[in-house]
Amino acid sequence: MDFDLPADLAGYLAELDEFIDREIVPLERADDNIRFFDHRREDARTDWDRGGLPSKEWEDLLAETRRRADAAGHYRYAFPAAYGGRDGTNLAMAVIREHLAHRGLGLHADLQNEHAVVANNVGLLLMLEYGSERQKSEWVDELAAGTRYFAFGITEPEHGSDATHMATTAVRDGDEWVITGEKTWNSGIHGAAADLIFARTSGDPGDGAGITAFLVPTGTAGFTIEEYLWTFNMPTDHGRVALRGARVPVDAMFGPEGRGLAVVQHFFNENRIRQAASSLGAAQYCIDRSVAYVKGRKPFGRPLADNQAIQFPLAELHTQCAMLRALIRQTAWTMDRHGTFAASEQVSMCNFWANRLCCEAADRAMQVHGGLGYSRHQPFEHIYRHHRRYRITEGSEEIQLRRVAGYLFGFMKSRAPKGV
């Protein structure tokens, strides 16, 4: 088994770094844009007078970054060549996502809203897999360019992890579907052209089948944004929406009727492995910054690095990063060769452990840096607050552990090939 990165991928990382240093770092430092990343970051990013939404200046800067990345041929890296991409693999995207996060805070990648110079545009991948020909003709070009997107409406105020018990329903009425219910944590809904709403169309609460996905334009009568939920890490773009008899045409269905949970699981598997890679990169960044700091910090006349109380926790975290890196890359490699659902157990392992590890590494970095580490003049509190969300969203770590246990104890059947 060859554990070396493919030569073309290693070369691409160097190409990507050259682009970031040439185009993105100068943009980050121009016109006081650094305010979005230094100690002023949360305040600069947040429009406190508009419900805590992202500020226009912040979103304009992200849009300009995406434009430059697209013009340079990086933004669409993961997309099929037919849509301007480079046919990026899951393995390549895992390596790239780790690499970008390992660079630290910056305009090259900001996970707060899934922004990166190499897009993690799972919405496009879902559109290509499940969208109708009409939907593809309407959406694909703008999705690929990052100029249009849809939000994701599965979680409800009374139903989070128990998605099969969702209360939102859709009833067929001639050539239309009538949707009634509520969704919450609709990230990005303030600027989305549509919301991908999941509703029960048949079956009973708890049934896996009978849930259908609908692409609902945000301007649809009966569709309203009720509030934006303020969070541990601001700004917020996480809306609670209500659908009160919202009518959509039959061709608003996204994927087959009654098979909406397959769309959800496809999204989760694709996104979770990439999220795990980003958390790994951020964890390694915290460790590396801490090691560099303690080598130079000399209280009582000796470097902090001489103390085993400093060495051992960082050594343990560094070891866990190395082991996790191997599992993430093996899992992504398996997905490339055997399909998105071939490594569901491993995806859950990677995801829950990476997000937990990142929080532990950021917390340790704060401790190592002392009072300065606790301040906003270092990036660790921001990294902790941001990555703490991923221990809950897109499947809490308890749900991930439940999935792993399901495969381990035989309650779920693994699709992984033998030896994986």
Q: Report d(CA 146, CA 67) in Å as an integer.
A: 8
Mark whether 98 and 211 lie in a shared domain.
no
Mark whether 315 and 191 lie in a shared domain.
no
Tally the domains of the chain: 3
Mark whether 31 and 98 lie in a shared domain.
yes
Mark whether 224 and 296 lie in a shared domain.
no
Q: What is the mean pLDDT of residues 319-328?
A: 98
Q: What is the CATH number of the domain that holds 20?
A: 1.10.540
Q: What is the mean pLDDT of residues 177-183?
A: 98
Mark whether 80 and 47 lie in a shared domain.
yes
Mark whether 266 and 405 lie in a shared domain.
yes
Cα distances from 283 to residues 36, 46, 65, 324, 417, in angstroms, run 21, 25, 24, 11, 30
Mark whether 249 and 283 lie in a shared domain.
no
Q: Is residue 27 in a domain?
A: yes
Q: Is residue 138 in a domain?
A: no
Mark whether 206 and 159 lie in a shared domain.
yes
Active site residue 226: no
pLDDT band at 120 (very low <50, low <70, confident <90, very high): confident
Q: Is residue 65 in a domain?
A: yes
Q: Is residue 173 in a domain?
A: yes
Q: What is the CATH number of the domain that holds 384?
A: 1.20.140.10
Q: What is the CATH number of the domain that holds 180?
A: 2.40.110.10
Note the pTM of the prediction, 2 decimals: 0.93
Mark whether 270 and 398 lie in a shared domain.
yes
Mark whether 357 and 266 lie in a shared domain.
yes
Residue 416 has a pLDDT of 62
Q: Residue 335 pLDDT more than 60?
A: yes
Q: Is residue 140 in a domain?
A: no
Range of the domain at 162: 150-254
Q: Is residue 405 in a domain?
A: yes
Domain boundary among 254, 281, 301: 254
Kindly state the percentage of the chain with pLDDT values over 90.
83
Q: Which of 23, 59, 156, 394 is catalytic?
A: 394
Condensed to tens digits (0 to 9), the pLDDT of residues 370-411 reads 999 999 999 999 999 999 999 998 788 999 999 999 999 998
Q: Residue 1 pLDDT more than 80?
A: no
